Amino acid sequence: MPDVFADLVGQDEAVAELRRAAAAAAAVLRAGAAALVTAGPASGNESAADDAATGGLDPSAGMTHAWIFTGPPGSGRSVAARAFAAALQCVHGTGCGECPGCRTTMGGTHADVRLVVPEGLSIGVSEMRALVLRAASTPSGGRWQVVVIEDADRLTEAAGNALLKAIEEPPPRTVFLLCAPSTHPDDISVTIRSRCRVVPLRQPPADAVAEVLARRDGIAPDVAQWAAAAAQGHVGRARRLARDPEARKRREAVLAVPRRLTGIGAAFDAASALIEAAEAEAAASVTEADTAERAALETALGAGGTGRGAAGAMRGAAGQLKELEKRQKSRATRAQRDALDRALVDLAGFYRDALTMALGAPVAPVHTDTAALAGAGAQKWDAEGALRRLEAVLACRAAIEANVKPRIAVEAMMLALWKG
């Protein structure tokens, strides 16, 4: 296995900073161990032992208790956070990729690394409180308790407050790694932000994405190159496009939209098709998990039991099932929005291509396979018309993000695309 940072594509500066921090963290542990060994009862060295016991993290020395990884979707926020977690648990260096600390962290089984991946639209306060409590315990492996929170922008306000308390007075050996699109107050509260060190990631260049797809995933170089460009720097999306024929088919259907907008009726049809495709894609991704969860809960609740107490137990069970259904619905909504957002990003890429062509800008198209169509659009619409259409797609994304009903936002967008 290569170094734990190997999959972090095109982020040299961030990797260098994280390595320095991991080295500083290892030095803290070594100093702590040495201090505890030399600090006998009468050695007069208690203060060093105290420093060691509190972690003694000096932020200026490269290591600190709370971090935020920011960057556009697909830039590798969670990859960076997990790699850094592994580097902190590495017993040989700063993320060798070989030792048990690295391998269990990367495999998701390290006892002192907790990963929070929100399934629904938000991370609730009870989940966060439980997490903060566990994070305060002494690391069983003798190194660090690491809590990785993916999509920290989905914290509810109450959950954010629970987290803030822990970050303000961090247990000596606990490290929080947050991932968010940006440090805008909409994504991360100002108070949490002020307690964290920010590691900005950038959108990796297509060449770097293509290189890693070919090297790590064994994808043919020409396919990797195409997928990297089409995914607009989103590493995971590029890999799916390169490997999954269904994902390619969905993308083709989305890119057929501009051609199909021949009238009002067609615009509404296109909106329905886009929404339904997103729903189908989301359903396919969550149905299996939903069924398994429900079966597991029913078994645990002893569904179908008879005799004394069974009726009362079933009344309690109904509440738990309702709770599960609520969680599953929230997860399904999230999956639909994510699927729809991917489609909108593809569509935005198409109009961006038309715009750059109308301007004669010397940049490579996002979608090489629809470049001719974008070129025809550029001729017909000019730069202004292409820009208006691109803005209509971006406005649709923003509206959905602001909780406008997806169907309404998509219909408005399709009409705008048709009218120009």
Cα–Cα distance, 269 to 417 (Å, whole number): 13
Return the bridge partners of 199, or none: 69
Spatial contact of 105 and 85, defined as CB atoms under 8 Å apart: yes
Identify the residue whose tokens are 């109308």. 358
For Zn ion, the closer CB: 90 or 148: 90
For Zn ion, the closer CB: 148 or 275: 148
For Zn ion, the closer CB: 48 or 86: 86
Q: Catalog residues that contact Zn ion under the rule CB under 5 A.
A: 90, 92, 96, 99, 102
Minimum distance, C-beta of residue 13 to Zn ion, in the bound complex (Å)? 22
Report CA-CA distances (Å) from 337 to 156, 179, 291, 345, 410. 18, 19, 21, 12, 12
Which residue in the shown chain puts its C-beta closest to Zn ion?
90
Cα–Cα distance, 257 to 261 (Å, whole number): 7
Minimum distance, C-beta of residue 94 to Zn ion, in the bound complex (Å)? 8
Cα–Cα distance, 397 to 318 (Å, whole number): 37
Minimum distance, C-beta of residue 201 to Zn ion, in the bound complex (Å)? 22
Report CA-CA distances (Å) from 213 to 239, 242, 331, 368. 7, 9, 29, 18
Tokens representing 222 are: 């020409």
Minimum distance, C-beta of residue 17 to Zn ion, in the bound complex (Å)? 18
Minimum distance, C-beta of residue 176 to Zn ion, in the bound complex (Å)? 21
Minimum distance, C-beta of residue 91 to Zn ion, in the bound complex (Å)? 6
Question: In this structure, which amino acid lies at residue 323?
Answer: E
Phi-psi bin for 233: left (phi > 0), alpha (psi -120 to 50), beta? left
Return the bridge partners of 114, or none: 147
Minimum distance, C-beta of residue 204 to Zn ion, in the bound complex (Å)? 24
For Zn ion, the closer CB: 85 or 247: 85
For Zn ion, the closer CB: 98 or 290: 98
For Zn ion, the closer CB: 53 or 99: 99
Spatial contact of 419 and 388, defined as CB atoms under 8 Å apart: no
For Zn ion, the closer CB: 100 or 316: 100
